[in-house]
Structure 1
Amino acid sequence: MTEPSSLDSTRASYDTVAVDYAALLADELTDKPYDRAMLTAFADLVKAGGGGRVGDLGCGPGRVTVHLRDLGLTAFGIDLSPGMIAVARRTYPDLTFDEGSMTALDLADGSLAGALAWYSLVHTPPEQLPDIFAEFHRVLAPGGHLLMAFKVGAECVRLEQAYGHTVALDVYRFPPDDVAELLVKTGFRVQARLVREADSREGTPQAFLLMVKPMAP
C-alpha cells in the first residue's frame, strides 16, 4: 500500500511534541477506570486464547504498551514517529519499539495474538479506514483480538497548537456504529463496545470497540 501523504504532517507533528506529550500523558490512565477495564478485558481474552505477541499499533511514547506488559501480555510497540519511538525506547528499554505505519505493517500474516489501536487512528481520514482495518485483520491470527479507542463524533477538527508546540494535525471523530460496521465487513466480530462520557479534559465522548478475528470454519 502506498503511504498516504497525510502521514507526513502527522509524523512531523508528533516528532515535534514527543517529549512533552510523553511527560503530560504519562499517568493518564490513572483516573480512567473504564479505559483500564477495557484494556484488562482485552488482556484477559488474549491470555485465555493462549497468549502470544501483542502489537500496540501507534504506540506513541509507550505508556500503554508497558501497561499491557504489566497486565501479563507479550507487548511491543510500532509508531509512525521516530521521535515517539526514541522516547519509548529511552523510557522502557526492556520493551521493543519500532518505526512503522499502520498502512503497511512489517508483520507476517497471522503473527499477532492481539492488536491495540489506542487513539492511533484519530488522524486517519475515514476513507482510509477500510485499508487499515484490512491490515489489522491480516496480521492477527484466527482467534486474535483487536481493541480500538477513538473519539466519538462525525467531524474533523484542525489542530494547530498542542502540547506547547505548533502542529498541523487533522483530528477525526467517528460514529461507533460506523466503525463497528466497517470492522465487521473486514471480517471481525464484535465482542464488546463501550461509549463513556467525556471527562473534564475531553471535548467528546470516547468509544472502545473490542473485536475478534473468528477462527476459520
Structure 2
Amino acid sequence: MDASIAITNRSLHDQVVSRVRDLIIEGTLEPGSRIDEAHLIEELGVSRTPFREALRTLAAEGLVIVRPSKGSIVRKLTPEDVFSMLEVLGHLEKLAGELVCARASDEDIQSLVDLHERMMACYRLRDRMPYYKLNQEFHSRLASLSGNGTLQEVQSNIQARLKRIRYIGNQQPESWAGAVADHEDMVAALKKRDGQRLGEAMSSHLRKTWERVKDSI
C-alpha cells in the first residue's frame, strides 16, 4: 500500500468503506488476517472514528469480523460456505432473469445492455477492478429489476459476502474469458426477453463460478 490510497474529501465514510473493501477484494488484506488499524488509519489519512465506523459497515456486509478488545479480522470463507452461497445465488439469479424478462421496461433492459457494454470495454483493456465493479452492478441491477424485493434483499446479502470470491473468479485469463462468454449469452437472451434462456444462463454462470474459484479458496 502507498500514499495513492489516501482518502480525499468525497463522502468520507463511503470512501473509507470503499477503499478497505477494495483491499479485501484484491487480497491486500488477506482472508483470516488481523486488520492493522493503526497502519491503515495512517495510510488512508483518516481518524480512528470513521475508520471503525467503516469496519462496522464491512462487518454488516460479511467481509469483516469485529472482535471487541481483540481487533478486527478479515472474514475467511470455507469452501463449504462458498459452495452453499453460490448454490443459492444460482437459483435466485435464475428467477431474477425470468422475472426481468417478464417485468422490466425496454429502458430497463437497455440499461443492463449498456452496463454489459461498459464491462466489455473494460475487458478489452484487461482493466480488472473496474470490470469487476460493473459486473457486481450488473447482477445487483438485474435483481433490482426483477420487481421482487425479497429476492433483491437476499441476493444483495449473498453477493456482498462473495465479493472477494467473485473477484478471484477472473484471476486466470481463461476463467475471465469464460465469464465474459457467459455474460454474452445472458445479454443475447436479455435482448430477446427470453426469460427461460436468461434464467438458465444465470444459473449456469454461477455453477461455473464455483469451478473457477474452488481451487483458490
With the shorter chain as reference, the TM-score category is under 0.3
Higher helix proportion: 2
Q: Which has the larger radius of gyration?
A: 2
Higher relative contact order (CA 8 A, sep 6+): 2
Higher strand proportion: 1
TM-score, with normalisation over the residues of structure 2? 0.24
